[in-house]
């Protein structure tokens, strides 16, 4: 695209993180729609021209809450963009494009598949937060 200056990776990552943090704060403090409170902002991706911010959201309380939350975010888009315009200091404020982040569901599905494979093979993998000790891990040599 002629005339578009792409940000370097470091600046782009910093901008994405800053926008994510500010949107999270605005969602907690300024958005009055209770539907949007059920969502978590998991990531933000700016387009190279910084005109669009793709905001990835998820909900840990089910698909129905996720869809309601997206509707709440869309209705609060003006409040969120206004907040960003106040803190960014750019000549323009990016358009907010809300997208569903299903990476948590995908990770849970993969973990379930690994557990099923381990159970078929006769071994049961450790549950969350636990780990199997390898030989010699509990012995200390001084």
Say what the pLDDT of residue 136 is. 45
Q: Which residue has the higher pLDDT, 74 or 115?
A: 74
Asked if residue 17 has pLDDT above 60, the reply is yes
> Per-residue pLDDT averaged across 40-55, rounded?
90
> What residue spans define the domains of the chain?
9-120
For residue range 84-142, what is the model confidence (pLDDT) as tens digits? 998 988 888 899 998 888 776 666 677 777 788 888 777 655 555 544 444 444 444 44
Q: Which CATH class is domain 9-120?
A: alpha beta
User: Strand 52-58 to strand 40-46: parallel, antiparallel, or no bridges (unpaired)?
Assistant: antiparallel
Q: Could you tell me which residues are beta bridge partners of residue 99?
A: 56
Closest CA to 80 of 64, 60, 100, 57: 57
Q: Tell me what percent of the residues of the chain surpass a pLDDT of 70.
A: 77
> 44: exposed, middle or buried (C-beta count within 10 Å: 0-12, 13-18, 19+)?
buried
For residue 56, give every residue at least 6 positions away whose Cβ sits within 8 Å of its Cβ, in sequence order, or none: 41, 42, 43, 44, 45, 99, 100, 101
* Pairwise CA distance, residues 114 & 141, whole Å: 35
> Per-residue pLDDT averaged across 36-42, rounded?
82
DSSP 44: E
């Amino acid at each position: 695209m002629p005339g578009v200056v792409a940000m370097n990776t470091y600046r782009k990552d910093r901008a994405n993180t800053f926008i994510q943090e500010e949107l999270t704060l605005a969602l907690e403090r300024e958005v009055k729609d209770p539907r949007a409170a059920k969502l978590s902002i998991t990531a933000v991706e700016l387009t190279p021209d910084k005109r669009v911010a793709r905001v990835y959201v998820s909900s840990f309380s089910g698909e129905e809450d996720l869809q309601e939350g997206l509707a709440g975010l869309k209705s609060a888009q003006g409040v969120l963009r206004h907040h960003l315009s106040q803190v960014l200091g750019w000549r323009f404020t990016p358009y907010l494009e809300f997208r569903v982040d299903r990476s948590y569901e995908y990770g849970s599905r993969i973990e379930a598949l690994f557990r099923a494979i381990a159970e078929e093979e006769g071994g049961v993998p450790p549950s969350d937060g636990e780990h199997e000790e390898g030989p010699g891990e509990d012995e200390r040599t001084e």
